[in-house]
Amino acid sequence: MGVEQAAPPLRIALAGLGTVGVGVIRLLDTNRDLLTARAGRELQVVAVSARDRSKDRGVDLARFAWEDDMTAMAHRDDVDVVVELVGGSDGPALNLARKALQSGKPLVTANKAMIAHHGLALAELAEARDVALKFEAAVAGGIPVVKGLREGTAANAIERIYGILNGTCNYILSKMEETGADFADVLKDAQQLGYAEADPSFDIEGVDAAHKLAILAAIGFGAKLDFDSVRVTGITRVQAADIAQADILGYVIRLIAMADVEEGEGGGATLLQRVRPCLVSKDHPLSRVDGPTNAVVAEGNFSGRLLFQGAGAGDGPTASAVVADLIDIARDEVGAPFSIPVSRLDPLPPTEPGHRLERTYLRFTVADRPGVLAEITAAMRDAGVSIESLIQKGRGDAGAEVLVAMVTHEGPERAVRDALALLEGSDSLTSAPLALPLLPD
């Protein structure tokens, strides 16, 4: 009887030694025996690259080859797989990704911006070379939602994907809810705690969540990746007063990313992708997702509603997702990056959602004088918007601004847009109105 030969190690080149890159090294060191047993071979870093070679990162880097030019790792004979943790949709990260795949080396990345903008081209390269392109860590940190959609729900037609995809926004909104503080104050607190970047615009304007949604929609619906068609509204205009009014109505406010497919008027399917703050009923599972947590709901035609929830960022959860992809590669699991080959992805045109029925929360900040409320309600009437409830609240001082909040009955989205258009330019409004949809149960 012959002696079974141990499989050779999977030799890894790692570009980017920030918190996630260092987290990957620590995870590989800490769980080495467990990972070897699960992967069927050792996962072994052999080369690393970062901008600053002299920086103390708290791990021993002397055991690895150092490459000042990260693209050189794609051509090393002693490297089996490249891990890109540099970030950025273009530039060095994209150059490394292309070089690795062109050299026939699998690529693992946590770079949602790069995948959202260039994922189809990279997937075509990977498929042409029959190597893996893995990006579990690009969406929702340590939550296995990419694998869940690509594999766990593979038997289902996905009807809708939605959820909370940005921990920074979720922290800010849930903290506003908890403390009653306004947006600017909570943002400053989030920056001090490390939940928000010094320049938080990608997070608070909804772009980060839009990157992730575009990726999930492509996988879930078998659609061509189309980040440019995502409709995006951030949370910067949400006030403490809106949080308080939502609470009175039995809701919380969360930044919700949502995608679904519908049959268009001409018979062809269309894809709606959008990110926007929504009022979420306190009875809905997403209402209980607070702090820097992510959650994704996928609705399959046979599986029903599935909820994926957990830490959406951080060195540990994101490193966990990176290493899970490395285990798949060690097992020689390739598969189409977006579940089906790029050539068979459906180029679904974007949906114009004006006909969609929804209830809407509207907030107006107006001058405290007679006739203002009548002007607003007349615009609602003329646009065909039916008002379910209305709250008028003064700011305390005579002649000061008044907050008018209302919730509409269910009606087409375009009716609310038409009503706000009728009010545009009115000197009764002291600031632009805010419209937030109520998330259906």
Residue 324 falls inside a structural domain: no
Q: Report pLDDT digits (tens) over 381-425.
A: 999 999 999 988 765 555 578 999 999 999 999 999 999 999 999
The count of domains in the chain is 3
Residue 303 falls inside a structural domain: yes
The reply to whether 218 and 284 lie within a common domain is yes
d(CA 93, CA 325): 18
Q: Report pLDDT digits (tens) over 34-74.
A: 999 999 999 999 999 999 888 999 999 999 999 999 999 99
Instruction: Write down the catalytic residue from 212, 224, 282, 393.
Output: 212
d(CA 416, CA 421): 9
Per 3-state DSSP, the chain is made up of helix, strand and coil in percentages (nearest 5) of 40, 25, 35
Domain end point (choices 352, 371, 401)? 352
d(CA 343, CA 438): 37
Q: Report pLDDT digits (tens) over 8-25.
A: 999 999 999 999 999 999
What would the mean pLDDT of 311-337 be, rounded to a whole number?
A: 92
pLDDT exceeds cutoff 50 at 201: yes
CATH of the domain at 85: 3.40.50.720
pLDDT exceeds cutoff 80 at 6: no
CATH of the domain at 370: 3.30.70.260
Q: pLDDT over 90 for what percent of the chain? A: 86
pTM as predicted: 0.93
Q: Report pLDDT digits (tens) over 229-241.
A: 999 999 999 999 9
d(CA 20, CA 112): 14
Domain end point (choices 296, 320, 352)? 352
Residue 154 falls inside a structural domain: yes
Residue 2 falls inside a structural domain: no
The residue among 111, 102, 122, 104 whose CA lies nearest residue 15 is 111
The reply to whether 38 and 104 lie within a common domain is yes
What would the mean pLDDT of 326-335 be, rounded to a whole number?
A: 94
The reply to whether 297 and 152 lie within a common domain is yes
The reply to whether 35 and 171 lie within a common domain is no
Verify whether residue 282 is a known catalytic residue: no
Confidence (pLDDT) at 3: 46
Residue 42, both tokens: 């050792």
The reply to whether 297 and 155 lie within a common domain is yes
- What is the chain's mean pLDDT, rounded? 93
The reply to whether 187 and 276 lie within a common domain is yes
Confidence (pLDDT) at 312: 80
DSSP E strands in 86-205: the ranges are: 107-109, 133-134, 158-164
CATH of the domain at 236: 3.30.360.10
pLDDT exceeds cutoff 50 at 1: no
Residue 3 falls inside a structural domain: no
pLDDT exceeds cutoff 90 at 288: yes
- Residue 66 structural domain: 10-138
Q: Report pLDDT digits (tens) over 79-130.
A: 999 999 999 999 999 999 999 999 999 999 999 999 999 999 999 999 999 9
Q: Cα dist. 279→4, 55, 215 in Å?
A: 59, 45, 24
d(CA 232, CA 247): 24
Residue 332 falls inside a structural domain: no
The reply to whether 371 and 300 lie within a common domain is no
pLDDT exceeds cutoff 50 at 139: yes
The reply to whether 242 and 301 lie within a common domain is yes
Residue 1 falls inside a structural domain: no
The reply to whether 208 and 227 lie within a common domain is yes
Domain end point (choices 300, 333, 352)? 352
Q: Which residues pair with 297 in a beta bridge?
A: 162, 307
The reply to whether 370 and 228 lie within a common domain is no
The reply to whether 191 and 95 lie within a common domain is no
Residue 360 falls inside a structural domain: yes
d(CA 290, CA 77): 46
The reply to whether 164 and 215 lie within a common domain is yes
